[in-house]
Every structure is written in structure tokens, then in C-alpha cells.
């Protein structure tokens, strides 16, 4: 049996309408999907994260107060990083 017998004959396909052409564009451009994955952190994980973050900020605060970041070695490292970034990260 030929396909034209099932469909009633060939059907011409015209150009897409704007709404058909743009269908799904939001999903392709990184819009959140309906079935996106989720991650939930336990209260314990949140507490551990907050403690680690607090410890890190405290170490940074102590270094700033002690003048650690004013040393020539640190200044040179910062300048090297800035120059590297300005040159495209090479």
C-alpha cells in the first residue's frame, strides 16, 4: 500500500509561521527546563559549609590585619595575575 493511499494524497508543506519557527527557542537558550535536576542540602551539610566559609573569611581577615597582603611577594603575584588576565589568560 502506498503512503498516499493512507494519507489521502501528498500534502504540500509551506513555510513555517513565526511561532512555529521560534518554538522551543527558550529551552535552547538556557531557560530552565520543567524536568531540571534538583539538589537539596541537609541541615548538617549547610552547617559544615557555613563553618568552612566562616573559617576561611577569618583567616583572610587575619592576613589583612597582619599586613600579609602588603608584602612584595603578594603584590608581584597580583600584578602577574592581572597582566595574565589582560593578555587573555595566556
Write out the H or E segment, with its range, that includes residue 59. Answer: helix 43-66
Cβ–Cβ under 8 Å, residues 41 and 49: yes
* Phi/psi at 52 (5° precision): -65, -40
Q: Tens digits of per-residue pLDDT, 36-49? A: 888 898 999 999 99
The answer to whether the CB of 27 falls within 8 A of the CB of 33 is: yes
Rounded Cα distance, 23 and 13, in Å: 17
Average pLDDT, the chain: 78
Question: For residue 3, is pLDDT > 50?
Answer: no
**Between 84 and 11, the higher pLDDT residue:** 84
Instruction: Write down the pTM of the prediction.
Output: 0.41
Q: In this predicted structure, what is the pLDDT of residue 24?
A: 59
Q: Computed from CA positions of residues 74, 78, 84, 85, in that sequence, does the dihedral angle turn out positive or negative?
A: positive
Of 74, 78, 76, nearest to 66 by C-alpha is 74
Amino acid at each position: 500500500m502506498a503512503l498516499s493511499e493512507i494519507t489521502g494524497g501528498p500534502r504540500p508543506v509551506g513555510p513555517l509561521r513565526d511561532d512555529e519557527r521560534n518554538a522551543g527557542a527558550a529551552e535552547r537558550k538556557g531557560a530552565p527546563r520543567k524536568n531540571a535536576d534538583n539538589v537539596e542540602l541537609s541541615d548538617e551539610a549547610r552547617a559544615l559549609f557555613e563553618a568552612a566559609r566562616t573559617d576561611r573569611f577569618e583567616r583572610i581577615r587575619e592576613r589583612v590585619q597582619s599586613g600579609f597582603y602588603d608584602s612584595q611577594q603578594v603584590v608581584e603575584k597580583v600584578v602577574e595575575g592581572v597582566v595574565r588576565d589582560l593578555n587573555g589568560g595566556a
